[in-house]
Amino acid sequence: MKHRRISIKSIVISLFVLVTLITSSIAIGLQYYHSKEMAREQARAKYQMMAESVSDAVTDVGDDAITAVKYLSHLGAILNTPSKDVIRKVFTSILKDNPTFYSVFYATENNYAYIIINLDSMSDVRRKNNALKQDRWLIIERSADSDGMTQYDSFYDANFNLRKKNKT
């Protein structure tokens, strides 16, 4: 075998390439690791925010339900001899205080129903019930007898002035 000599130039170039490969590999590895950790942290933060938002929404609905039950507890005394004015005042108070509620109704065993709808609760409610812009409340009274079902739809403004009453 012949002695082969390696020139200094080849050694320097080889070491330079080797050091460059090692340095770039470490840099790419660190960047990958930190990017992955940052993405995980952002995902964790977003999930935490979503969980808090859902928790707040559930708490709000629970609070609304508690408020509604408190209002409805006042109806206990009137159930035997219901007064439409008292029921209307209690129900409209519930609907004003709980914008997530669309309507509230009272029904009896003898096929009578008294429904109050908040026309300002959602954008489609007014359109679906053919209400005008000045209408705030829709009161539906349904009763059934031997002649069949009778329904009256009454549209009221914010001050409970009757605007229109339909029989359907």
Kindly report the pTM of this predicted structure. Answer: 0.58
User: Which H helix or E strand runs over 60?
Assistant: helix 8-73
Q: Higher model confidence: residue 6 or residue 48?
A: 48
Q: Which residue has the higher pLDDT, 77 or 31?
A: 31
H helix count then E strand count, the chain: 3, 5
**Alpha carbon distances (Å) from 159 to 5, 103, 122, 135:** 105, 18, 20, 10
Q: Over the stretch 97-121, which tens digit does the pLDDT of each residue have?
A: 777 788 888 887 888 888 999 998 8
CA atoms within 13 A on the CB side of 93: 14
Q: Choose from 3-12, 16-25, 132-141 the range with maximum mean pLDDT.
A: 16-25
Q: List 87's β-bridge partners, or say none.
A: none
Give the alpha-carbon dihedral of 123, 129, 131, 136, to 10 degrees. -70
Rounded to a whole number of angstroms, the distance between the first and last alpha carbons of the chain is: 113
- Give phi and psi for 134, each to the nearest 5: -80, -10
Phi and psi (nearest 5°) for 132?
Answer: -90, 170
Dist CA 60 CA 142 (whole Å) = 32
